C-alpha cells in the first residue's frame, strides 16, 4: 500500500505523518509512507491545503490532522 | 468508496431508517445545546465579575496597597488575563463552528464563478471564515488560480485570510474596545479588496512561474464529508484546543508586558518616536514590520503597550498590519509560484494600502 503525506513541513504535517505511522503500526499493515514536501508535487494532487493524506493515489483528507480511527478505516477500506 | 455506496443505497431503500438516524442525530445535537446554555450563562456571569474579582484578589487577598504602581500593574494583569482568555475561547469556538461550513474547496467554488469586483469583495470576506494556515498558502494559491479564480481575487483572499482573523479581533476588542476592533476589521477588509482589485487590473498573470499554469489541479475527487452538528461542535472544540493551546502563552506574556508598562513606564513615552507629528513615522512603521513575522496574537500585546504610551493609533495600526500581512517567510514560500516582479507588486500595493490607513487614522483620531 502506498501512503503519501503531503505537506511542506509545518508542525501539523509532521503530526499527521506520525499519526499515520501509528495507525499503520496498530492496524498491523505493511505500508510505505512517503512524505511529500515538494510544492510542485503537492500541487499536482490538486489539494487546496496541507497536510493532506493520499492512499494509493486517492486523496483522503485535506487541510487537517486526521483522527487515527479515520486513518484505520481508510487502511481497512483499501485492502478489501 | 464502498461506505458511501452502501449509505446511499440504504437511504433509497429505507427512508424510515434514515429518519430514525436523523432524529437520533438531532437529539444528540439538542443535548449539546442543553450543555451549552448553562455554560454560556456561567461564562457571562464570570466575565462580568472579573473586575470585582481582580480588585478583591489584589487588595484583599494579596493585601497590596491601593494607588501604587505595582498593585495597579497586578490588578491589571489579574483582570486582563482571564478576560482575554475567556473572550478568545468563546470566539474561537464560535468561529470554529462557522468555519466547519467553509472549506477552502467550497470557497474556491464560490469564487470561481465570480467576476473581478464582486469576486474581490467576496474573497476578502471569505478570508475571515475559511480555515487557512500560511503553510498551505501555495497549494491554495495554485488551486485557486488554476481553476478559474482570477489572480486579483486570489490575492484578495490571501491578504485577508491571515490579516483579518478572529484572534486579532478578539484581542483588539478585549484590550482597546469595539471601535478599534471594528476599524481594524473594516480597513483590513478594504485593503484586501482594493489591493486584490489593483493587482487584477495590472494583469500580471504572466508573472506566475511557468509550471503553475501547466498544472491541472481542479477537484481531487474527494467526497465532501457531511458534517452533523455534533461534528461541527467537535470542530469548534478542536479549534479551541488547538488555537487557545498555542496562543495563550503570547496572551499571558503580552498582558504581563502590558501590565508592567501600565504601571511603570511614563505616559507619552512613545509619543516622541511614534507620535503623530512626524510624517515619516507611518512608512517607517510599515518597513520595520515587513521583516518581522508574528501572528496576531503575538503582536497585539506589543501594540497595546505602544498605544498605551502615546504612540499614534494610525502608526501602530500600520505597524501591526505590516507585521501580519507582509511577512518575509510567506514571501519566500510564495516565491515558488510568483516571479519577483509580482511579489514586489504585491508588497508594494499592500504596503501602500496600509500606509494610507495609517495616515488616515492619524489624521482622523
Asked if residues B312 and B275 have their Cβ atoms less than 8 Å apart, the reply is: yes
The pLDDT value given to residue B355: 93
Predicted pLDDT at B263: 65
Give B220's contacts in chain A (Cβ within 8 Å): 45-47, 59, 62
Report pLDDT digits (tens) over B110-131.
888 788 889 999 999 998 888 7
Helix, strand, coil percentages (3-state) for chain A, rounded to 5, are 45, 25, 30
Active site residue A34: no
Q: How far apart are CA B209 and CA A7, in angstroms?
A: 20
For chain A, say whether B137 makes contact (Cβ under 8 Å): no
Q: Tens of pLDDT along B17-59? A: 445 555 666 777 777 778 888 888 999 999 888 888 888 888 8
Give per-residue pLDDT as tens, A19-37. Answer: 888 888 888 888 888 888 8
Position B185 scores a pLDDT of 92
Give me the pLDDT at residue B96, please.
Answer: 87
Question: Which residue in A has a C-alpha nearest to residue B221's C-alpha?
Answer: A59
Short-list B317, B358, B326, B360, CA closest to B181: B317
Question: B71 falls in which pLDDT band (50, 70, 90)?
Answer: confident
Point out the catalytic residue in the list A13, A23, A36, A65.
A13
Are B136 and A63 an interchain contact pair (Cβ–Cβ within 8 Å)? yes
Residue of A nearest to B2 (CA): A77
Q: Do residues B212 and B146 make contact, with C-beta atoms less than 8 angstroms apart?
A: yes
Q: Which residue has the higher pLDDT, B17 or B216?
A: B216
Residue of B nearest to A57 (CA): B220
Q: How far apart are CA B365 and CA B357, in angstroms?
A: 12
B348, pLDDT greater than 80: yes
Question: For chain B, what percent of residues have pLDDT higher than 70?
Answer: 84
Give the per-residue pLDDT at B4: 38
Residue B349 has pLDDT above 80, yes or no: yes
Which B residues, 207 through 236, put their C-beta within 8 Å of a C-beta on chain A?
A: 211-212, 215-222
A33 is catalytic: no
Name residues of chain A where pLDDT drops below 70: 77-80
Query: Rounded distance, CA B17 to CA B36, Å?
Result: 29
If you compute the radius of gyration of chain A from its CA atoms, what whole number of angstroms results? Answer: 11
- Closest-CA residue of B relative to A42 is B139
pLDDT at B2 over 50: no
Across the interface, whether the CB atoms of B219 and A46 are under 8 A apart is answered yes
Q: Who among A44, A62, A80 is closest to B222 (CB)?
A: A62
Report helix angle B296-308 to B166-176, nearest 10.
Answer: 20
List the domain boundaries for chain B: 2-100, 104-223+255-364
Determine the longest span between alpha carbons in chain B, in angstroms: 76
Smallest Cβ distance to A49: which of B136, B212, B216?
A: B136
Is the model's pLDDT at B105 over the cut of 60?
A: yes
Longest dimension (CA), chain A: 33
Q: What domains does chain A contain, in order, with CATH numbers?
A: 2-79 (3.40.30.10)
Q: Identify the three-state secondary structure at position A55.
A: strand
ipTM of the prediction: 0.71
The verdict on a CB contact (< 8 Å) between B135 and A7 is yes
> Please, what is the average pLDDT of chain B?
80
Q: Is the pLDDT of residue B341 over 60?
A: yes
Each residue's pLDDT tens digit, B276-297: 667 788 898 888 888 877 767 7
Residue that the C-alpha cell 510564495 belongs to: B334
Residue B227 predicted with pLDDT over 50? yes
Amino acid at each position: 500500500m502506498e501512503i503519501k503525506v503531503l505537506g511542506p513541513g509545518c508542525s501539523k504535517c509532521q503530526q499527521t505523518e506520525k499519526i499515520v505511522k501509528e495507525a499503520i503500526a496498530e492496524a498491523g499493515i505493511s505500508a510505505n509512507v512517503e512524505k511529500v514536501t515538494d510544492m510542485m508535487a503537492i500541487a499536482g494532487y490538486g489539494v487546496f491545503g496541507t497536510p493532506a493524506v493520499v492512499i494509493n493515489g486517492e486523496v483522503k483528507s485535506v487541510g487537517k490532522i486526521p483522527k487515527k480511527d479515520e486513518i484505520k478505516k481508510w487502511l481497512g477500506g483499501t485492502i478489501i | 468508496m464502498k461506505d458511501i455506496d452502501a449509505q446511499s443505497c440504504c437511504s433509497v431503500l429505507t427512508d424510515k431508517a434514515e429518519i430514525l438516524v436523523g432524529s437520533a442525530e438531532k437529539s444528540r445535537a439538542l443535548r449539546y445545546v442543553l450543555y451549552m446554555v448553562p455554560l454560556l450563562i456561567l461564562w457571562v456571569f464570570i466575565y462580568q465579575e472579573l473586575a470585582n474579582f481582580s480588585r478583591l484578589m489584589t487588595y484583599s487577598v494579596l493585601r497590596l496597597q491601593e494607588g501604587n504602581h505595582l498593585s495597579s500593574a497586578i490588578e491589571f494583569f489579574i483582570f486582563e488575563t482571564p478576560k482575554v482568555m475567556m473572550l478568545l475561547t468563546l470566539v474561537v469556538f464560535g468561529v470554529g463552528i462557522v468555519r466547519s461550513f467553509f472549506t477552502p474547496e467550497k470557497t474556491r467554488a464560490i469564487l470561481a464563478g465570480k467576476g473581478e469586483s464582486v469576486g474581490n469583495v467576496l474573497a476578502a470576506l471569505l478570508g475571515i471564515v475559511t480555515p487557512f494556515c500560511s503553510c498551505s498558502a501555495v497549494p491554495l494559491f495554485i488551486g485557486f488560480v488554476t481553476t478559474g479564480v482570477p489572480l486579483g481575487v486570489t490575492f484578495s483572499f490571501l491578504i485577508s485570510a491571515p490579516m483579518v482573523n478572529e484572534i486579532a479581533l478578539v484581542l483588539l476588542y478585549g484590550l482597546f474596545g469595539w471601535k478599534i476592533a471594528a476599524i481594524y476589521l473594516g480597513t483590513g477588509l478594504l485593503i484586501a479588496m482594493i489591493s486584490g482589485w489593483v493587482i487584477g487590473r495590472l494583469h500580471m498573470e504572466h508573472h506566475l512561474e511557468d509550471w503553475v499554469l501547466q498544472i491541472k489541479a481542479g477537484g481531487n475527487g474527494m467526497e465532501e464529508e457531511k458534517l452533523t452538528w455534533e461534528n461541527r461542535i467537535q470542530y469548534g472544540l478542536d479549534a479551541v484546543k488547538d488555537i487557545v493551546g498555542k496562543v495563550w502563552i503570547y496572551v499571558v506574556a503580552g498582558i504581563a508586558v502590558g501590565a508592567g508598562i501600565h504601571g511603570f513606564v511614563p505616559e507619552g513615552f512613545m509619543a516622541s518616536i511614534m507620535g503623530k507629528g512626524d510624517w515619516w513615522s507611518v512608512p517607517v512603521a510599515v518597513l520595520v514590520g515587513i521583516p518581522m513575522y508574528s501572528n496576531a496574537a503575538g503582536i497585539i500585546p506589543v501594540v497595546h503597550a505602544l498605544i498605551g504610551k502615546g504612540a499614534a493609533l494610525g502608526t501602530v495600526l500600520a505597524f501591526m498590519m505590516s507585521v501580519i500581512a507582509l511577512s518575509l517567510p510567506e514571501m519566500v514560500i510564495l516565491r515558488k509560484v510568483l516571479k519577483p516582479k509580482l511579489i514586489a507588486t504585491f508588497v508594494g500595493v499592500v504596503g501602500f494600502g496600509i500606509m494610507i490607513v495609517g495616515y488616515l487614522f492619524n489624521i482622523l483620531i
